[in-house]
Structure 1
Amino acid sequence: MKALILVVCLALPVSLAVADNQQRHAYFGDTHLHTSFSPDAGMAGTKVGPNDAYRFVLGETVTSSTGQEATISKPLDFVVIADHAENLGLADAIASADPGLLSDPFGKQLYDLVMAGKGIDAFNALVQKMAKGAEAKIKSESMLRNAWTKIMELADHYNDPGEFTAFIGYEWTSQPGGNNLHRVVVFRGNKASVEPVLPFSLFDSENVEDLWDYMAAYEKDTGGQVLAIPHNGNLSSGMMFAPQYQTTGQPIDKAYAENRSRWEPIVEVTQSKGTGEAHPFLSPDDKFADFEIVDTTNLGGTAQRTTDMIQYEYARSALKMGLEFDKTLGANPFKFGMVGSTDSHAGLPATREDNWWGKAPFLEPSPNRWKDVLIRSSLDPALDLTALQLAASGLAGVWAADNTREAIWDAMARREVFGTTGTRLQVRVFGGYDFGPDDLEGLDLAAKGYASGVPMGGDLAVAPEGNSPGFLVEAMRDPNGANLDRIQIVKGWLDTNGVSQEAVYDVVWSNPDTRKLDAEGNLPSVDSTVDEKEATYSNSIGAASLRGYWQDSTFDPDQSAFYYVRVMEIPTPRWLAYDRKNYDLYDEMPDDVRYSSQERAYSSPIWYSPR
Structure 2
Amino acid sequence: MKATAIYLAALFSTALAGLTFAQENPLATDTGIINPDAAAKAFPKRGFSPYAGRNYPARVLWGDQHVHTGWSVDAGAFGNTLGPEEALRFARGEEVMSSLGEPAKLSRPLDWVAVTDHSDAAGVIFEIRDGNPVLMADPLGKRWHDLMASGEGVQAASEMIAAQSNNKIPPAMKDPKLALSVWEKNTSIMEKYNEPGRFTAFIGYEWTSNAGGGDNLHRNVIYRDGKDKADKAIPMTTFDSENPEDLWTWMANWEKSTGGSLLAIPHNGNLSNGRMFALHTFLGNPLTREWAETRARWEPMYEVTQIKGDGETQPSLSPTDEFANFEKWDQANLAGVPKEPGMLEREYARRALQEGLKLEQTLGVNPFKFGLAGSTDSHTALTTAEEDNFFGKHTGVEPTPGRWEHSVIKTEQVNVKGWQMSASGYTGVWATENTREAIWDALKRKEAYSTTGPRMTVRFFGGWDFDAKDAQTRMPAEAGYAKGIPMGGDLQRAPEGKAPTFLAAALKDPISGNLDRIQIIKGWVDAEGGLHEKVYDVAWSGDRKPGADGKLPPVGDTVDVENAVWTNTIGSPELIVAWKDPDFNPSLRAFYYVRVIEIPTPRWTAYDQKRFGIKMPENVPMTVTERAYTSPIWYTPEG
Question: TM-score when scaled to structure 2?
Answer: 0.90
Deviations 1:365-420 (A, max 9, x none): 1111111111222x32xx12221211100111111111110000000000111000
CA drift of 1:117 comes to 5.5
Name the counterpart of 2:585. 556
Checking the alignment, whether the CA contact within 8 Å between 2:129 and 2:145 is kept in structure 1 is no
1:184 partnered with 2:177: no
Match of 1:540 among 569, 584, 587: 569
Displacement of 1:579 in angstroms is 0.4
Is 1:233 aligned to 2:269, yes or no? yes
Amino acid at match of 2:110: L
Provide the secondary structure at the position in 1 that maps to 2:265: strand
In the TM superposition, 1:266-285 aligns within 5 A as: 266-285=301-320
Query: Which of residues 611, 623, 627 is equivalent to 1:582?
Result: 611
Q: 1:65 aligned to 2:92?
A: no
Distance 1:126 1:428 in 2: 42
Distance 2:168 2:614 in 1: 44
- Three-state SS of the structure 2 residue aligned to 1:142 is helix
Per-residue Cα deviation, 1:272-331 (whole angstroms, up to 9, x for no partner): 1100101110111000000111101111102x2233111100000000000000011101
Q: Which residue of 2 aligns with 1:362?
A: 396
Report whether the alignment pairs 1:600 with 2:636: no
Q: Secondary structure at the match of 1:244?
A: coil
Q: Which moved more, 1:89-98 or 1:156-165?
A: 89-98
Aligned-partner SS, 1:308: coil
Q: Does 1:145 align with 2:138?
A: no
Counterpart secondary structure, 1:19: helix
| Helix, strand or coil at the partner of 2:565 | coil
CA gap of 1:558–1:116, structure 2 versus 1, over 3 A, is closer
> What letter is aligned with 2:618?
D
1:476 matched to which residue of 2?
507
Partner SS, residue 406 of structure 1: helix
Q: Distance in 2 between matches of 1:112 and 1:524?
A: 56
1:3-402 → structure 2 map (5 Å cutoff) = 8-12=1-5, 15-16=9-10, 17-22=12-17, 23-24=56-57, 25-94=59-128, 102=135, 105=138, 109=142, 113=146, 120=153, 122-123=156-157, 125-133=159-167, 135-137=169-171, 138-176=173-211, 177-247=213-283, 249-302=284-337, 304-377=338-411, 379-380=412-413, 383-402=414-433
Q: Secondary structure at the match of 2:342?
A: helix
**Pairing partner for 2:466 from 420, 435, 442:** 435
Q: 1:551-601 CA deviation, whole Å, 9 max, x = no partner?
A: 012111111100000000000010000000111113xx1122110021000
Secondary structure of 1:474's counterpart equals strand
CA deviation profile, 1:41-69 (whole Å, cap 9, x unmatched): 11110111111111111111111111111
CA contact (8 A) 2:16 2:459 kept: no
Post-superposition Cα deviations, 1:53-101, rounded to whole Å, max 9, x if no partner, equal: 11111111111111111111111111110100111111344467779x5
- Residue pair 1:11, 1:543 contacting (<8 A) in 2 also: no
Conservation of the 8 A alpha-carbon contact between 1:456 and 1:604: yes
Structure 1 runs not aligned, ≥5 long: 1-7
1:486 aligned residue:
517
C-alpha contact (below 8 Å) 1:73/1:350 kept by paired residues: no
The AA in structure 1 aligned to 2:497 is G
In structure 1, the residue corresponding to 2:346 is in which secondary structure? coil
Q: Does 1:421 find its partner at 2:452? A: yes
Secondary structure class of the residue paired with 2:290: helix
SS of alignment partner, residue 213 of structure 1: helix
Cα shift at 1:522: 1.4
Distance of 1:279 and 1:528 partners within structure 2: 23
Residues 1:496 and 2:527 aligned together: yes
Report deviation, 1:106.
6.3
Q: How many Å apart are 1:141 and its aligned residue?
A: 2.6
Unaligned runs of 5+ in 2: 18-55
Q: Secondary structure at the match of 1:419?
A: strand
Instruction: Show the counterpart of 2:31.
Output: none
Offset, 1:136: 4.5
Contact 1:232 1:267 in 2 (8 A): no
Q: Distance in 1 between matches of 2:79 and 2:119?
A: 18
Q: Distance in 2 between matches of 1:278 and 1:443?
A: 36
Percent identity for Structure 1 against Structure 2 = 47
Report the RMSD for the aligned CA atoms in angstroms. 1.9
Secondary structure in 2 aligned to 1:307?
coil
Say if 1:19 and 1:443, in contact at 8 Å, map to a contact too.
Answer: no
Higher alpha-carbon deviation: 417-426 or 117-126 = 117-126
Partner of 2:478: 447
CA contact (8 A) 1:134 1:202 kept: no
Q: CA deviation at 1:497?
A: 1.5
In 2, Cα distance between equivalents of 1:553 and 1:19 = 31
Q: Give me the whole-angstrom Cα distance separating, in 1, the residues matched to 2:439 and 2:431.
A: 6
Task: Work out the CA distance in 1 between the residues paired with 2:347 and 2:170.
Answer: 28
CA distance in 2, matches of 1:355, 1:466: 51
310-319 vs 58-67, greater mean Cα deviation: 58-67
Which region of structure 1 is more displaced relative to structure 2, 23-32 or 203-212?
23-32
Partner of 2:548: 519
CA positional deviation for 1:232: 2.5
- Code of the residue aligned with 1:257 in structure 2: it is A
* Separation in structure 2 between the aligned mates of residue 104 and residue 457 of structure 1, nearest angstrom: 52
Name 2:47's counterpart in structure 1: none
Quickly say closer, same or farther: Cα 1:97–1:149, change in 2 above 3 A.
farther
Give the 3-state SS of the residue equivalent to 1:29 in structure 2: strand
Matched letter for residue 151 of structure 1: N
Q: Which residue of 2 aligns with 1:3?
A: none
For 1:571, the aligned partner's letter is: P
Cα offset, 1:251, TM superposition:
1.9
Answer whether contact 2:128 2:136 (CA < 8 A) is retained: no
Residue 427 of structure 1 deviates from its aligned partner by 1.0
Q: Which letter maps to 1:314? A: Y
Q: Distance in 2 between matches of 1:607 and 1:519?
A: 30
Q: Which amino acid aligns with 2:561?
A: E
1:462 maps to amino acid: R
Q: 1:195 to 1:282 in 2, by over 3 A?
A: same
In 2, the alpha carbon distance for the partners of 1:199 and 1:103 equals 25
Q: 1:548 Cα deviation (Å)?
A: 0.3
